[in-house]
Chains A and B, each alone.
Chain A
Amino acid sequence: MEAEITVHEYDVLVIGAGGAGLRAGIEASSSGATVAIISKSMLGKAHTVMAEGGAAAALANKDERDSWRTHFRDTMKGGKYLNDWRMAKIHAQQAPDRIRELEQWGAVFDRTPKGLTSQRNFGGHTYPRLAHIGDATGLELIRTLQQKGIHTGMDVFMEFTVRKLFKKDGRVIGCFSYSRNDGSFHVFKAKSIVLATGGATRCWEVCSGSWEYTGEGFALAYWAGAEMGDMEFIQFHPTGMIWPKSVKGILVTEGVRGEGGMLRNSEGERFMFNYVPEMYKEEFADTEKEALEWVDEVVSGKLASKRRPPELLTRDVVAKAINSERDAGRASKHGGAYLDISWRDEEEVKKKLPGMYHQFKELAAVDITKEPMEVGPTAHYVMGGVKVHHETQETRIKGLFAAGEASTGLHGANRLGGNSLSDLIVFGKIAGEHAAKLSKEIREFEEIPNDEIQGVIEETLAPLQRTGGENPASVVSDLRQMMQNKVGIIRTESQLLEALAELDNLEQRACNVFGGSGKSYNPGWHQSLEIKAMIDVSRMCTLAALKREESRGGHTRDDFPEPDHSHWGKINSVIFMNEDGEMEIRFESYPPIPADLRDLLDSEDLHEED
């Protein structure tokens, strides 16, 4: 008997309802296209809600020396020059307008004394640049876009999972989805599709991601024939909670360090002074005295004349430093580092970091206004993703667009804090605009062949038809542990090779899991279906990490500890499925940076003589 299917038709289909998806949906529906948003969780709950520190935009409200040029320069430097410079330019130029637009739509960011949007300091940003509301900026962003979105006329399908993208003649024509709520099957015909599915950090045991971050967007694109770039670059945020075990990985905002938080080891030493990389030497304080003077200047609202504390180095640097201190036997009580903001005024801490205050008080019984926090690295962000055209966000597949963490290019080898929220709204808008534009050129919806639909239904139902088997939770748990141990912050060839072999084993085990037989809101069934994507995404990351024989940004090889500017510093990895259905990797470069933009960069970083 054939399963019952509901068929829907939309000009533009957006998969994912976080910041990028909502911004794309708003843009597409306000240009007159019919739009549906498919969301794995409920509206307003997407992963964007967890973003804390702020959205980076060179508004120059706090320091008039800032401009898009400095933002561009900081983004490229932080990304260790593997960024698509064209996207970095568009991002730096357009972010201020996108932030102002959010305020027009009702967002209420913290204010400067002059009544403008306030901005906060963050790692790798030369000037205070992050628009924020306390430490809950993601919530403000998603709620604003959600409120705007539901009134622009888009339809929202909540708690739906997409299982497959359909194509005809190289163009995307729709997708298959099921309702997590009641298990019903749905085919969406669409003239264009925007993937705004976020990342995949749930593949690691210690991560700051929610359950949604299983990488299905990456996998859908890859299975459909799109190219995946930079998958070796995973950002381990230096400060996640490490104790108690139950909260391990939960994010501690970089805003703590932006507000003057100091990192110390078990000996009480402010160790970050020992880890300032050559390329940042000139910009960071080399004494505790100077670092303190910088905080004093910034807190009192003056323009900073001193150099910044080394705690505000980029995330890759700080995460590796905490790791090295631990390896040297100088870890905090539970194996991380101490992060101390208690030296600042109690009321100020509560006002600027209310979420952190409550998070530590309620989950770890620590009062951050009185004692230091314990923190350690947590898998936080995938710099890699679906390769897109820099001006349109379209992938190699006609009609398929990607934006936000799902896409790659802007961040290079390491993302700066705050550049993610601005990425969502800048490139979400661009993707929505071009998806709508393309949909207008297409007159008819395409028929989706029944055998393809039946094939994906069969796969989707398979776990329900088993009568017993391993609990999917144990396969996922083993996968996450394996990725943590073998494809973590520090990698070596032998462990990466072992990881590839273990992924094959896990794939076998995944074929036999049993999560219960009901179709109505059955998390065991949902998890059984997610594993395949998690394994393929883990494989992409491992393969790309194995091939890149150097250390740079969010990829560190113990066997190749130095950056190699002459070769690896000029090429980006590209993963794709070959004609035999196998995963293959090649490398390519972005076009050369034009002279006017190159002049904005630090010439000694570029190693042009190499």
Chain B
Amino acid sequence: MQTVTFSVFRGEPDQDGDPFGKMVDYTIDLDEGMVVLDAIHAIQAEFAPDLACRWNCKAGKCGSCSAEVNGKSRLMCMTRMDDILDETPEGESVVIRPMQTFPLVRDLVSDTSWAYETDRRIEPISGPGEVDWEYYQHEADRIQEFRSCIECMLCVNTCHVMREHQKFDEFAGPRFFVRLASLEMHPLDKKSRIPEIKEDFGIDYCNITGCCSSVCPAGIDIRHNAIIPLKERVVTEFYDPIAIIGRKIGLRR
């Protein structure tokens, strides 16, 4: 059986709300097929029952156990220790920290209440009053990809508009562009969401580096399938002279 040392952040916010704490080493025995979250549970059971870690389903379906493992944004429950050991240089410990873009609650737990506040700002679907709709699988396919989002916030954690520039008030972040795209492209939603996507949710800040897509555990291509189509619609609505004239003379909606 293999033993592995983990270096885990332990700490709480100081008076200014900044993280205050230290990295603590724990050495445990690995079992076959373990994921990082198993290792955290083993540390809790053997050494530190009060090690704070948020988790729920342990099956990659709820998006609770987001953290930074060896500096990368990942779900701890879907990250196999085999893969982590392959990438960890020999003799070094596996480093686990909370998501750095969000305020710290304690140890590995972040305060993601911003996400719930942003969600409330998005107007819900304005769907049909009567129960008589039909739409087809090819229409559903497009938004079903968006609806597979598990709200783990790893995309927001890795987005530099958030991480480096903290534009939490002006920018909805990748998660909520996925949400907005799922409404904008919903076969039953009647509202045009483009003006608010530009004005209120600040899509222009995104310069499509695609970091969000690369960390999405649900495999959503956030950049190509959600953000770029929304940016194109913003351009058509606000900057395309032919479209603007067309609308004025009633050729386009």
Contacts and interface: CB of A to CB of B under 8 A. Distances in A.
A111 to B, nearest CB: 4
Contacts of B147: 108, 133, 139-140, 143
A111 B137 contact: yes
B80 interface: yes
A110 B147 CA distance: 12
B50 A148 contact: no
Contact of B144 (A134, A474, A527): A134
Contacts of B53: 523
Interface stretch (A399-407, A492-500, A514-522): A514-522
Contacts of A280: none
A472 B44 CA distance: 10
Given A358-B60, A520-B105, A525-B50, A108 B140 contact: yes
Contacts of A181: 105
A359 B50 CA distance: 29
Contacts of B186: 106, 108
A247 interface: yes
Given A210-B57, A362-B78, A363-B80, A245 B49 contact: no
Interface majority SS (helix, strand, loop, mixed), chain B: loop
Interface stretch (A42-50, A167-175, A544-552, A586-594): A42-50
Interface in B210-240: 219
22 contacts: A41-B54, A41-B56, A43-B116, A45-B62, A50-B61, A106-B183, A106-B188, A111-B136, A113-B136, A150-B120, A151-B123, A151-B124, A158-B116, A244-B31, A244-B33, A246-B33, A246-B35, A363-B78, A517-B50, A523-B51, A524-B48, A527-B49
Contacts of A363: 33, 35, 78, 80
A566 interface: no
Interface string A438-482: 000000000000000000000000000000000111100100000
A451 B44 CA distance: 35
A39 to B, nearest CB: 11
| A45, A103, A151, A524: most-surrounded residue (chain B CB, <10 A) | A45
B54 to A, nearest CB: 8
A148 B64 contact: no
A472 B134 CA distance: 53
Interface in A177-207: 181
Interface stretch (B16-24, B89-97, B125-133, B166-174): B125-133
Nearest to B130: A104
A37 interface: no
A362 B60 contact: yes
B44 A473 contact: yes
A355 B61 contact: yes
B49 A472 contact: yes
A96 to B, nearest CB: 10
Interface residues of B, number: 62
Contacts of A148: 124
Contacts of A134: 144, 148
Contacts of B41: 473
Contact of A105 (B62, B125, B150): B125
Interface in A101-118: 103-106, 108-111, 113-116, 118
Given A518-B106, A521-B52, 18 more contacts: A41-B56, A45-B151, A46-B56, A50-B61, A104-B188, A108-B186, A110-B140, A115-B135, A118-B137, A134-B144, A150-B116, A246-B33, A362-B80, A477-B45, A516-B48, A520-B105, A524-B48, A527-B49
A50 B135 contact: no
A24 B12 CA distance: 36
Contacts of A156: 116
A46 B57 CA distance: 8
A210 B131 contact: no
Contacts, number: 177
Nearest to B131: A100
B78 A520 contact: no
Contacts of B219: 358
A363 B76 CA distance: 12
B240 to A, nearest CB: 29
Output the residue of B35, B50, B116, B125 with the most chain A CB within 10 A: B50
A100 B112 CA distance: 32
Given A106-B186, A111-B140, A362-B60, A473 B45 contact: yes
A524 B128 contact: no
For the complex of A and B, 3 pairs with smallest distance between CB atoms: A244-B33, A516-B50, A524-B49
A253 to B, nearest CB: 11
A534 interface: no
Contacts of A147: 119, 124-125
A271 interface: no
Interface string A30-46: 00000000000111111
A523 B44 contact: yes
A118 to B, nearest CB: 8
Interface in B1-60: 12, 31-35, 38, 41, 44-46, 48-60
B79 to A, nearest CB: 9
Interface in A501-534: 514-518, 520-525, 527
B68 interface: no
A473 to B, nearest CB: 4
A520 B56 contact: no
Interface string A85-126: 000000000000000100111101111011110100000000
Given A103-B133, A250-B58, A45 B64 contact: yes
Contacts of A47: 56-57
B197 interface: no
A249 to B, nearest CB: 9
Contacts of B45: 471, 473-474, 477
Contacts of B49: 471-473, 514-516, 523-524, 527
